[in-house]
Structures are given as C-alpha cells and as structure tokens.
Amino acid sequence: MAKKTRRGQKQCPKCSTWIKGTRAKACPKCDYQFNGKQKTVARVSASPEPVVAEKKAGDTVTFEQIRAVTQTVKTIGGFARLHELLGLVKEVGGLKKFKDLLEAMSLPETDAIPF
C-alpha cells in the first residue's frame, strides 16, 4: 500500500496522526520524537544504594583556574591573541611540541655574565 502524503504535513509513524508543519519535532498526541531521539523511561534499579555519577578531575572548574586564565589573557593582550596562540599550538602539533620548541629557542640562562 502506498504511503499517502499531504503537502505541509507529516504523519506520525506511531499513531498515524497527521501533524501540521513539516518541522514539527514531536507528535502532540503520542509524543513521538521525529528527530530519532525517543524519550527514555528511567528504569528502577534493584539495588537500594543510590547511583552516584563519578566525577573526573577535569570535570569541574576551580576559582584558581579561572584566575590563572584571566591573568594569562591579560598578560597576552586579550582573547584574540590568546586564540592566535592556541591556533599556533595546534598548528605546531600539540602542547608538548610547542613546549619543546620554546625550550629550544630560549637562551640558556647563566649565573655569571661572560664579559
């Protein structure tokens, strides 16, 4: 059987209701999601202890990190220059290679002046 089409509407595959507008994201009758992301029902766990999401060390931002980034932005001369620097680091091949290049380019510090 051929699927019937209506101009400017689409049909819900779950309940066969016609929905006005081709950009509708969900069926108003059965809540079917057209973008492929169906609502998932939370399943009740059999274990009595609560489930706690593990936090990684990099998941949170500390106030000290914000201060350090702010100071770096001020020292470099603004966000535009910081973005240029980050682009350069990426272009060179990563932070480790960039650090190695900086160390190779810097003059060795000596305690005594030779002259």
Task: Report the C-alpha gap between 78 and 84 in whole angstroms.
Answer: 10
Alpha-carbon distance of 40 to 31, in angstroms, equals 12
Give residue-wise pLDDT tens across range 39-86: 555 555 555 565 556 666 667 888 898 899 899 899 989 988 988 988
Neighbours of 17 (CB within 10 A): 14
Cα separations (Å) of 18 from 25, 26, 34, 35, 38?
A: 13, 12, 13, 16, 19
**Rounded-to-integer distance, Cα 13 and Cα 109, Å:** 73
Please tell me whether the overall predicted TM-score, pTM, comes out greater than 0.95 for this model: no
Domain ranges of the chain: 63-105
